[in-house]
């Protein structure tokens, strides 16, 4: 059931990519093993990133089980599909539960996808990395595969103003690096720093290889300041990111409260017959 649902979602995504003429370039997919447990760790610049990082798995005949925030699982149709594809729900208040599920999946031979920044970076620069991806790879002794995605922020921009930047034929570049293989006694925090350095190098490669440049000054919003763009500075981006996470957590809690109220109301209804 999981793979059937996943295949359907992939076909749907590919149809959408084709409809918009997206030019997707996946480089280095051979670094993901064709079998056995592994952790894919990517930067995060847009909501659709999981679709593009997931293509790395499909290049190798694998399905990637992503760690995704709790709110994604709440809408009925989307949530049902996420659970059917065996993605892993992350409640920020109880992150250790998601890590246990990730460990179980990796030990069962699955590829687990993680965005160590924990949210979209609105400066387009790397945020601080959380140690979960490195911890899972270290505990399970599996490859930790760094990934960088670039250009997807032009498809689903969620920064200030909620601007939507999609143009037909937009390129998206995904670069996969050589896996880290942490020792059994490695410090996950030290491995996280190695991972972040690896993703930073790949992100630079992705930017350098990207086939388009801004058309004019008004189109420089999708470049970071370090590349002559007009994206928020790193400091501004961190503030926007944190505010976004707080709002998302509050919205998720409100949805959960409404769901609990509906459940209690249903339970109180008298049974017929």
Query: What's the pLDDT at 29?
Result: 97
Average pLDDT of span 208-227: 95
Round to whole Å and give the CA distance between 195 and 228.
26
- Residue linked to tokens 């032009």: 154
Determine how β-strand 111-114 pairs with β-strand 38-42: parallel
Query: What's the pLDDT at 258?
Result: 74
Which of 87, 82, 127 lies closest to 241, judged by CA?
127
Residues 218, 180 contacting (CB under 8 angstroms): no
Q: Which of 163-167, 229-233, 241-245 has the lowest mean pLDDT?
A: 163-167
Average pLDDT of span 99-119: 96
User: Does the pLDDT value for residue 57 go beyond 60?
Assistant: yes
Round to whole Å and give the CA distance between 67 and 86.
10
User: Does the pLDDT value for residue 161 go beyond 50?
Assistant: no
* Protein fold of 2-206+219-265: Glycerol-3-phosphate (1)-acyltransferase (3.40.1130)
User: Does the pLDDT value for residue 63 go beyond 90?
Assistant: yes
Average pLDDT of span 97-108: 95
Q: What are the extents of the domains in the chain? A: 2-206+219-265
State pTM to two decimals: 0.85
User: Does the pLDDT value for residue 172 go beyond 50?
Assistant: yes
Q: What Rg do the C-alpha atoms of the chain give, in angstroms?
A: 19
Round to whole Å and give the CA distance between 81 and 73.
9
Mean pLDDT, all residues of the chain: 89
Query: What's the pLDDT at 160?
Result: 43
Query: What's the pLDDT at 256?
Result: 65
Query: What's the pLDDT at 86?
Result: 94
Q: Regarding predicted confidence, which is higher, 115 or 164?
A: 115
């Amino acid at each position: 059931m999981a793979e059937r649902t996943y295949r359907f979602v992939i076909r749907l995504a590919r149809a959408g990519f084709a409809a918009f003429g997206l030019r997707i370039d996946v480089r280095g997919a051979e670094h993901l093993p064709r079998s056995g447990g592994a952790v894919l760790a990517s930067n995060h610049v847009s909501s659709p990133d999981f679709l593009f990082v997931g293509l790395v798995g499909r290049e190798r005949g694998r399905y990637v089980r992503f760690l995704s925030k709790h709110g994604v699982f709440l809408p009925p149709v989307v949530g049902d599909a996420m659970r059917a594809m065996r993605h892993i729900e992350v409640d920020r208040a109880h992150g250790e539960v998601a890590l246990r599920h990730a460990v179980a999946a990796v030990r069962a031979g699955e590829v687990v996808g993680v965005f160590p920044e924990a949210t979209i970076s609105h400066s387009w620069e790397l945020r601080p990395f959380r140690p979960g991806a490195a911890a899972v790879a270290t505990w399970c002794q599996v490859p930790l595969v760094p990934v960088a995605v670039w250009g997807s922020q032009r498809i689903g921009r969620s920064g200030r103003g909620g601007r939507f930047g999609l143009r037909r034929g937009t390129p998206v570049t995904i670069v996969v690096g050589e896996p880290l293989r942490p020792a059994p006694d490695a410090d996950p925090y030290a491995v996280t720093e190695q991972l972040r350095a690896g993703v930073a190098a790949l992100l630079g490669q992705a930017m350098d290889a990207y086939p388009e440049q801004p058309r004019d000054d008004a189109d420089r919003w999708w470049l970071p300041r370090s590349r002559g763009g007009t994206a928020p500075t790193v400091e501004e981006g961190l503030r926007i990111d944190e505010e976004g996470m707080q709002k998302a957590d509050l919205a998720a809690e409100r949805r959960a409260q409404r769901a609990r109220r509906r459940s209690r109301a249903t339970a109180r209804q008298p049974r017929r017959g």
